[in-house]
Amino acid sequence: VSGDADEALEKLKQTIDADTVENAKINEQINELAAKAEPELQKAFSKLRFIHDTFDLRRNAAALNDKFYLKGFIPEKEKDRFDKLFEDMRSVSVVYLPPDADASCEPPTVLKNNFLTRPFTMLVEMYGLPEYKGYNPTAFVAITYTLLFGIMFGDLGQGLLIVLGGLALKKKLGAKISGLVTRLGISSMIFGTLYGSFFGYEELLDPVFENIGLDFLPLKVFKQTNFILITAVAIGVALIVISMILNIYIGFKNKDYEKAIFGCNGIAGLVFYSSVAAGLVGTLIFDVKVMSTPFVIFLIVIPLVCIFCRTPFSIAVKYKQWRLSEDEEKMTVGNFIVENFFEMFEFLLSYVSNTMSFLRVGGFVLSHAGMMLVVMTLMEMCSAAAQPFVLVLGNLFVMVMEGMIVAIQIIRLEFYEIFSRFYEGGGKPFEPVVVKFTAQTE
């Protein structure tokens, strides 16, 4: 740099301009060269990527004498296509064995679901895949999740927008998420029709039901609050009972008698929970004295004793004789009583907390109606010109905020109140060996 500041600045600008022009020419040359060499570069990259990814297979190869062996899993439906890959390779032999033939290899899990339930696979995978030949809960999740979402977020107009949004964003969201959103939107439309709610207008569908002759519909949320809350608890009781039945089925299938018969979610737990629920409903709602002495002894006390002594009872059933497990042999009578007492207290507390947790289903029905009431009130307070904007913005706000909260709350109900009673993840996903030809660029 020489001269005064203005002269030096002018010289630097000239240098920068010249370098910029030269840089543009070089970039143009590079682009031309890249366009000419692109086919060869693609071939070279693909070849290198193929060699790189297949080289990792050496970890799964075993060498013996002049041969090497590869062992893995393929879906049964791919067997014929897999055979064709080796038709021209006479030196290669393919042997098929049952998935559980080798105890050292854990078979992977592939969930098989139909068109209606397939989008809900992501929720099951989020919790954990079942083990091979384990119970696939996707259909159960699809039914319960869709039902609960519709109940908690019932609005005919908003549900229609959710359906249209799911269909419109199929390319960006993917088929699974789009299908999930679409199904939830349809459920919201169905229950929104039962509630008579259309973008917050609670009286709009009344003439339709009057013409049909259904006097008990639409369901007025604020006028039937007690009915909604009681129904929410009843839904929770029903889902917990179904979860216990599934647990009993899985327990007998796996010959786990402690789980199927004497566990808190087995036959003993089912009898106890159902009996207490029936007794409370009969006494508090129908004013029928169900809690007689024989009822309490045989349907409440005896199941509790079975749960308390579930481990020795299950061993006696399994081995046809009374004997203790290794842990119980080291345990004193006092320790056994104290440990099982606190576990029993935890079981009883879970029955109550899990059942009451379903009150949130009714709570969100009221919450949704309350938020839309606020939107309608704000709209009436505004001028005629501003009312359409308030209505649109209010509905969008409720759809986004409450829709996300409801979706998350249902996942919580599924995982904690339902899955915890019968489902155990831990399965290994089936991940085929593939060559990833995607270039990693910056």
Q: Does 180 lie in the same domain as 44? A: no
Residue 77 covered by a domain: no
DSSP state of 290: -
Q: Does 141 lie in the same domain as 40? A: no
Q: Does 152 lie in the same domain as 41? A: no
Q: Does 373 lie in the same domain as 312? A: yes
**Rounded to an integer, what distance in angstroms lies between the CA atom of residue 41 and that of residue 31?**
13
Residue 12 covered by a domain: yes
Residue 89 covered by a domain: no
Q: Which residues contact 51 (CB under 8 A, 6 or more apart)?
A: none
In contact, 302 and 267? CB cutoff 8 Å: no
**Residue given tokens 């993840």 in the structure block:** 425
Predicted pLDDT at 339: 80
**Rounded to an integer, what distance in angstroms lies between the CA atom of residue 118 and that of residue 125?**
12
Q: Record the tokens describing residue 6, joined without a space.
A: 């203005």
Residue 29 covered by a domain: yes
Give the type of residue at 409: Q
What is the DSSP track for 347-362?
HHHHHHHHHHHTHHHH
In contact, 72 and 107? CB cutoff 8 Å: no
Q: Which residues contact 390 (CB under 8 A, 6 or more apart)?
A: 375, 378, 379, 382
Q: Does 152 lie in the same domain as 16? A: no
Q: Does 151 lie in the same domain as 17? A: no
Q: Which residues contact 193 (CB under 8 A, 6 or more apart)?
A: 156, 205, 218
Q: Does 148 lie in the same domain as 65? A: no
Residue 44 covered by a domain: yes
Predicted pLDDT at 318: 67
177 by Cβ neighbours in 10 Å (0-12 / 13-18 / 19+) ranks as middle
Residue range(s) defining the domain that contains residue 415:
120-422
Q: Which residues pair with 429 in a beta bridge?
A: 109
Residue 80 covered by a domain: no
Q: What angle do CA 146, 150, 156 make, to 5 degrees?
A: 130
Residue 428 covered by a domain: no
Q: Does 171 lie in the same domain as 44? A: no
Each of the 442 residues of the chain gets a pLDDT tens digit; together they read: 677 888 888 888 999 999 999 999 999 999 999 889 988 888 888 899 888 888 888 877 888 888 888 888 998 888 999 889 888 888 888 889 988 888 888 899 888 899 889 999 999 988 889 988 889 999 999 999 999 999 999 999 999 999 999 999 888 888 889 999 999 999 999 999 999 889 888 888 888 888 888 887 888 888 888 889 999 999 999 999 999 999 999 988 888 888 888 888 999 999 999 999 998 888 888 888 888 888 889 999 999 888 888 777 777 776 665 555 555 556 567 777 888 788 888 888 989 999 999 999 999 999 988 999 999 999 988 888 899 999 999 999 999 998 899 999 999 999 989 998 888 888 888 888 887 777 655 4
131 by Cβ neighbours in 10 Å (0-12 / 13-18 / 19+) ranks as middle
Q: Which residues pair with 69 in a beta bridge?
A: 62
Q: Does 399 lie in the same domain as 300? A: yes
**Rounded to an integer, what distance in angstroms lies between the CA atom of residue 181 and that of residue 159?**
10
- The SS3 of residue 109 is strand
**Rounded to an integer, what distance in angstroms lies between the CA atom of residue 224 and that of residue 63?**
73
Number of domains in the chain: 2
